[in-house]
Amino acid sequence: MVTVLSELRSEFSGSIERMQNFIAAFTTKNPKPVFCAMVALMLCSLILCFTLLRLENPAVPKRTKVLGKIEGNLGEIGTTATKLQRVLEIRSALEVLLARDSLDKKDSLLMEQMLGEIDRSMTTKK
């Protein structure tokens, strides 16, 4: 089975082998500097981990407040869309009633209820 890694290994096998030989020779000739460099890097990592990288970013709470406002506004948009859909349904029902030649008492009461519902849905409560 041919994989990307096997193709890279076959393509650059000579360069990889030379690099491995160079690193092995360098580490056997200079063990103390390699060890000191390794310990120094570990100390730097420890210092960075517990000091600079531990600082809290003051921008993070602001971002969460903004996201909360956006989520709240999205909810209001959904509510408004639902109200608009209901108003359009009532409007079409009213148009059907108004298209009739004559209206009776039940139709008049129904129209009054529909108009009252439209008024209630148009008033915003904050």
Residue 87, pLDDT above cutoff 70: yes
For the beta carbon of residue 121, count every other beta carbon within 10 angstroms: 15
Q: What is the largest CA-CA distance in the chain?
A: 108
pTM (global) more than 0.85: no
What digits encode the pLDDT tens for the residues 108-124? 888 888 888 888 887 76
Are 65 and 103 within one domain? yes
Same domain as 31, residue 68: no
- Based on the domain organization, do 70 and 93 belong to the same domain? yes
Whether residues 65 and 107 fall in one domain = yes
Sequence-distant (6+) residues with CB within 8 A of 94 are: 111, 114, 115
Q: Provide the domain limits for residue 39.
A: 4-54
Q: Which of 36, 58, 40 is nearest to 48 (CA)?
A: 40
Read off the pLDDT of residues 46-72 as tens digits, 9 standing for 90 and up: 998 888 777 665 555 555 666 667 777
Task: Give the count of domains, the chain.
Answer: 2
pLDDT band for position 32 (50/70/90)?
A: very high
Rounded Cα distance, 18 and 31, in Å: 20
